Structure 1
Amino acid sequence: MWRKAAAASLVAAPIALAVATGVDPALGIPEQYGIYRQHPDAVQAHSILLHWAWVLFVPGLLGLLAPIRQRGAVLARIAWIAVIVGLATFSALMANDFVLLALEQTLPDAQVQAVDEKFLAMSVTVAGWQWPGLIGWGLSLILTPIAAARGRVIDWWTAGAALLGMALYLAFAISPVPLCLLGPIVMIGAYGAAAWRLVRPRPAPAEPEPDTFGAFRRGFGQFALYAAPLSFAIGMATVPDWSGDLADSVAKPVQTQVSALFLHFAWILFVPAVLAVAARANRFTQVAAGITVLALINFSGLMVGDSADLAARQVLDAATADRVSETLGGYAAFTFGWAMPGMLLSLLGLIAVAVGAAVSRVTRWWTAALVVAGIAAFLGLGLGPIGVTGPLLLLAGFGLIARDLRRLPAPAAPAATPAPAPA
């Protein structure tokens, strides 16, 4: 099931990238403010498709790395972390297009520029979001095909085509059609071939390699079961506006950014956490985990909105900043294509994965109950010191699941595939 889901993602992601690139209203136009205001529908279509392209690349590339065992494992470890931490963070940066559109539809260009420059000057946001996102994006798309070819998951020509597609995209992404489509089209072919290889793998050798990369993934997943709720707790504890007064966020800009960053990485770290649980559980849990992974990536991206809202409130008066926020919330593509499914399915998904683990006897029912209680506390208790209760309950629940996973025997190596009998 994992292979088919990853293969579908590898096919869908570059297609979404091609469409997103083709409908970009800023193609071939020098960078300037005011373009988004003239093409609001095209901007929304471009931004949501581009966001989803990078979101879908995450499970696709993770699936491409998964069959690697020992050969190519070093590159695979770097690529795997880059995909989860970097590429997922990069997808969140597409939210800035929606923010810019809301600014341009609300303010004159001079104020739009002032807010945008304030946002780009936020040191914590730049170091915590933009740098990891851009670096992780590059490492993901470069190292994953190389590691997969090194691990004999795909052919070297497929890896070369994927790298060529990335290079063409990087060179012509903002050029007019059809130049801008060269990279995505090559990537469609390359990752389509990689997807085919995933669902039609080579026969397993009689003596499989030691699964060093699998051991790394399992270990990191168990670490993430602790780290994700802990980062969540830190993010909630450092929220400056406990009373709900946004003026507190403006008064403590660094703390606001730090809180948003910890919350972002909490949801990102839940990705390897739920994958680690699902790998040892039943099919329901695996399906739930797959949906939850996509939702978590979307949910994590919403945290950059805290920094964007902070930038607006540092430049604009409260009433004008509220109008920008209301305009942003009125975009159906953003609300229904990103925000709502991200939040709703993330929280429900964490519950479903924990319950599925209990049904599969990976963990006990009272452990799953702690996760349910943690989500309920997060939703019901609000901000302030008491708001840390939910994350701490999640830490207890998922920490116990991590303990139970460590007690399970290592997965068996894949059985050797016999050679076909001669005709």
Structure 2
Amino acid sequence: MFDFTDPDAFRRRAAGVSLVLAPLCLLLGMVVDPLTRGGDETLAYAQEPVAAGISATLLHYAWVLWVPGVLGLVHLVRSRGVVLANAAGAVAVLGLINFSSLMIVDFFDIVLYRRLPAEQATGILEDSLQPALVFAWQLPGMIGSLLGLVLVAVAFTRAGRAGWWFPAGVLAGLVIWIAGARSGFPPLGYAGPVVLLAVFGTVGVTMIRMTGEEWRQARREPASQPA
């Protein structure tokens, strides 16, 4: 499937596969997450360290895998929407990289709550929320990832590459996912990633099935009517 001697084919397929795997990893990460499955909000990770570790790893790779997918989407926007695509792509990539790094906190949760009293472990984690962590890691990661993915989908649609179902589905999927994660209601926590898998997966499969000429044609299109 991946021809390492053909740069266009490799990049196109890698981007398409990433758009499928990223939301799939998010869905699986939510399914395995002890908190989503109704575990104790404070001790869930300490009580199920293996599940917590697998979940954190899947969520980490969900955000990482979205990066090549976003780059592939931006590559295909060459006329209308190009300015928005480039700006949103940069925001999304930086946000996704930051967001993926935040998953390591789950491993500290596991160790702290297994070795220390819950009150002391909670205090240490709260004290770790230094301004640099919040404003340089957390907020850019969360806002950049979520806002960037939606805006990239908007730019992709404005360029005529997909219908408006794409950005609408991305927005709906992210909102449902956040609501589900905060509510602790498993079906809602799974529904968001399922929607994201449907919309990103559709675009990803379409990208994989593109011919090499279609991919190269996008590169040759004049960047007229930027928006």
Question: What range describes the TM-score normalised by the shorter chain of this pair?
Answer: 0.7 to 0.9
Q: Name the counterpart of 2:116.
A: 107
Q: Name the counterpart of 2:55.
A: 46
Is 1:152 the counterpart of 2:160 in the alignment?
Answer: yes
Closer, same or farther: CA 73–43 of 1 in aligned 2, 3 Å: same
CA shift, 1:157, in A, is 1.9
Match of 2:186, SS state, is coil
**What stretches of structure 1 of length at least 5 have no aligned partner?**
214-423
CA shift, 1:70, in A, is 2.6
The amino acid of 1:209's aligned partner reads: P
Equivalent of residue 172 in structure 1, options 149, 170, 180: 180
The amino acid of 1:140's aligned partner reads: G
CA shift, 1:44, in A, is 0.6
CA shift, 1:30, in A, is 8.3
Match of 1:166, SS state, is helix
Question: Highest CA radius of gyration, 1 or 2?
Answer: 1
Contact kept? 1:149, 1:155, Cα under 8 Å? yes
Q: Name the counterpart of 2:66.
A: 57
Match of 1:69, SS state, is coil
Q: Name the counterpart of 1:218.
A: none
User: How is 1:232-251 mapped onto 2 (pairs within 5 angstroms)?
Assistant: none
CA shift, 1:118, in A, is 0.7
Q: Name the counterpart of 2:148.
A: 140
Q: Matched residues in 1 for 2:50 and 2:111: separation?
A: 12
Q: Name the counterpart of 1:209.
A: 222
Contact kept? 2:98, 2:140, Cα under 8 Å? yes
User: How is 1:411-422 mapped onto 2 (pairs within 5 angstroms)?
Assistant: none
Match of 2:76, SS state, is coil
CA shift, 1:28, in A, is 6.3
The amino acid of 2:195's aligned partner reads: V
Q: Name the counterpart of 1:77.
A: 86
Backbone CA RMSD of aligned residues: 2.3
Closer, same or farther: CA 211–107 of 1 in aligned 2, 3 Å: farther
Is 1:197 the counterpart of 2:210 in the alignment?
Answer: no
Q: Matched residues in 2 for 1:208 and 1:68: separation?
A: 9
Contact kept? 1:145, 1:163, Cα under 8 Å? no
Q: More relative contact order in 1 or in 2 (CA 8 Å, sep 6+)?
A: 2
User: How is 1:6-405 mapped onto 2 (pairs within 5 angstroms)?
Assistant: 6-27=15-36, 29=38, 32-120=41-129, 122-174=130-182, 175-201=184-210, 204=217, 208-210=221-223
**What stretches of structure 2 of length at least 5 have no aligned partner?**
1-9
CA shift, 1:155, in A, is 2.4
Structure 1 length as normaliser, TM-score? 0.47
Match of 1:178, SS state, is helix
Q: For each residue in 1:303-346, what CA deviation from the matched residue of structure 2 results, as whole angstroms up to 9, or x when unmatched? A: xxxxxxxxxxxxxxxxxxxxxxxxxxxxxxxxxxxxxxxxxxxx
Closer, same or farther: CA 164–151 of 1 in aligned 2, 3 Å: same
Q: Matched residues in 2 for 1:89 and 1:171: separation?
A: 21
Q: Matched residues in 1 for 2:51 and 2:143: separation?
A: 28
Closer, same or farther: CA 125–212 of 1 in aligned 2, 3 Å: farther
Contact kept? 1:154, 1:197, Cα under 8 Å? no
Contact kept? 1:70, 1:209, Cα under 8 Å? yes
Contact kept? 1:69, 1:212, Cα under 8 Å? no
Q: Matched residues in 2 for 1:127 and 1:169: separation?
A: 23
Q: For each residue in 1:360-395, what CA deviation from the matched residue of structure 2 results, as whole angstroms up to 9, or x when unmatched? A: xxxxxxxxxxxxxxxxxxxxxxxxxxxxxxxxxxxx
The amino acid of 2:176's aligned partner reads: L
Q: Matched residues in 2 for 1:76 and 1:187: separation?
A: 19
Closer, same or farther: CA 137–208 of 1 in aligned 2, 3 Å: closer
CA shift, 1:201, in A, is 4.6
Identity %: 36
Q: Matched residues in 1 for 2:169 and 2:24: separation?
A: 15
Closer, same or farther: CA 127–31 of 1 in aligned 2, 3 Å: farther
Contact kept? 1:62, 1:83, Cα under 8 Å? no
Contact kept? 2:35, 2:41, Cα under 8 Å? no
Q: Matched residues in 2 for 1:211 and 1:109: separation?
A: 59
Q: Name the counterpart of 1:330.
A: none
Contact kept? 1:64, 1:153, Cα under 8 Å? no
CA shift, 1:97, in A, is 0.6
Closer, same or farther: CA 143–171 of 1 in aligned 2, 3 Å: same
Contact kept? 2:38, 2:186, Cα under 8 Å? no
